[in-house]
Structure 1
Amino acid sequence: MQNPHEDTEWNDALRKHGILPQKEKAPELPEEEDQTEIKNNYEEMSLDELGEFEDEEEDRIMEMYRQKRIAEMKAMQMKAKFGDVREISADDYVQQVNQAGEDVWVVLHLYKQGIPLCSLLNQYVTRLAQKFPYIKFLKSISTTCIPNFPDKNLPTLFVYKNGDLIHQWIGALHFGGMNLKQDQLEWKFHEAGIVKSTLESNPTPKIHDVLSSAIRSSNKDNSSDDEEY
């Protein structure tokens, strides 16, 4: 037998013709009290109330910034998992470079003992690894990592991200020789998007064009001579 309380087209038709009684309407829920009145209406506040309100707002804003700073520091601590330069061989390459982690920058220095610029670069890379512990710095003797790698290509820096080679700087010309400073190497990494440097500008001094200066000076002297006549 059909249930007279079910919501079916047949029961609706019977209710329409008065054969079945109409369904009882569900009782309406009482409207929630309107609690949207805001006490911080400046025009209605006394001086004491305004002072208390400002103190509460200041505390709330300071707490918000505190929580934001804590979150930023925790995020940096999670990223800061390196901080040194690890020596690797060819056998370690896949694990240390290709499997370094998602969005992790890897800087690999190929060097050889007895080459002064390689030693200098190793010093700078060690310090930068401590300054930027979220960057994975590696080093390897060139022929240990790549057999028959020519000494003329040293020092070499390979930079990877997500297992892909992003930058490669091969040979002394890319580093300016023994005149290279640590800040200059940091700025090189900064321009390549590897680190966020605290340096305000490029520390490399601009080369003074002596020939151009001599020509400009000569032109000024000639102009002065012409004016005398």
Structure 2
Amino acid sequence: MQDPNEDTEWNDILRKKGILPPKEVPKDDEEEELALQRQSVVKTYEDMTLEELDENEDEFGEEDEAAIEMYRQKRLAEWKTSQMKAVFREVVEISGQDYIKEVNKAGDGIWVVLHLYKQGIPLCALINQHLSALARKFPQTKFLKSISNTCIPNYPDHNLPTIFVYLEGDMKAQFIGPLVFGGMNLKAEELEWRLSESGAVKTDLEENPRKQIEDKLMSSIRSSLPTQNDSDSEGEDCYL
């Protein structure tokens, strides 16, 4: 007589039709399978972020609540630690020897703003002043400054000021030369907007401040132009 627990194609067909009962699983194998399932669930918890734990909370049973809460607290502690580490709040002076450590190895997810400057250039001094304010406003962004030729030998003065923006060692944006910054009329909000476009900071500004200035300038120019009636009157006076 054929063993109903034997792994054969015929027995599988009979099980599907309900003629044979489901295959019996040896107790040892059953316990091992349950243990593997538990490990799989725990591994899922370990791989989840805080947001994923919250999103998938309904997918787990009551018996999993303790494990979920444990990993939630663990993720929360890790997040708090990373936040504490990623608080800079000031513009740090570096040299070329510090470049790899401070820029390339700044850390995962850390944006770096590096200003190459030279003393005696007014626009460089202005940008350093603006960056100090932005460093306090955006403490998770790493703001650095370096005298140009100590960071890059023979870096030309006509390229100053220069700002490089990096993420995990990759350059994401560069602003080179006084014309790019708009000269000594540069406002901190304009620089903030430029950096936000590169991704280095998350601004709360709703639009480019430079656009507001340009709009006001154009409005002022239009208001100073003669109207059509004025032009006609002037033409008539000349004709008379």
Confirm or deny: 8 A CA contact 2:163 2:176 kept in the other structure: yes
1:176-215 deviation per Cα after TM superposition (whole angstroms, max 9, x unaligned) = 1111111121122123222111223332211634897389
1:156-193 deviation per Cα after TM superposition (whole angstroms, max 9, x unaligned) = 00111121111110111111111111112112212322
The correspondence for 1:182, drawn from 180, 185, 188, is: 188
Runs (4 or more) in structure 1 with deviation over 6 Å come to 223-226
Say how many residue pairs are matched: 173
| Aligned: 1:166 with 2:175 | no
The correspondence for 1:213, drawn from 222, 233, 236, is: 222
| Aligned: 1:136 with 2:136 | no
Give the counterpart letter for 1:146 in structure 2: I
Alignment of 1:64-213 (within 5 A): 74=80, 77-78=83-84, 80-204=86-210, 205-206=213-214, 208-209=217-218, 213=222
Quote the Cα distance in structure 2 between the aligned partners of 1:75 and 1:111: 33
Structure 2: tracts of 5 or more residues without a match: 8-71, 236-240
Q: Percent identity?
A: 53
Give the counterpart letter for 2:192 in structure 1: E
Quote the Cα distance in structure 1 between the aligned partners of 2:81 and 2:183: 37
2:57 equivalent in structure 1: none
Q: Please report the TM-score for the alignment, with normalisation by the length of structure 2.
A: 0.58
More helix by share: 2
Quote the Cα distance in structure 2 between the aligned partners of 1:117 and 1:169: 13
Quote the Cα distance in structure 1 between the aligned partners of 2:234 and 2:95: 69
The structure with more radius of gyration: 1
1:75-94 deviation per Cα after TM superposition (whole angstroms, max 9, x unaligned) = 88346422221111111111
SS state at 2:179 partner:
helix
Give the alignment's Cα RMSD to 1 decimal. Answer: 3.9
Q: How far off its partner does 1:104 sit?
A: 1.5
Distance 1:134 1:215, change over 3 A: closer
SS state at 1:103 partner:
coil
1:18 equivalent in structure 2: none
Q: How far off its partner does 1:100 sit?
A: 1.2
Quote the Cα distance in structure 2 between the aligned partners of 1:132 and 1:165: 19
SS state at 1:200 partner:
coil
SS state at 1:208 partner:
helix
Quote the Cα distance in structure 2 between the aligned partners of 1:88 and 1:96: 8
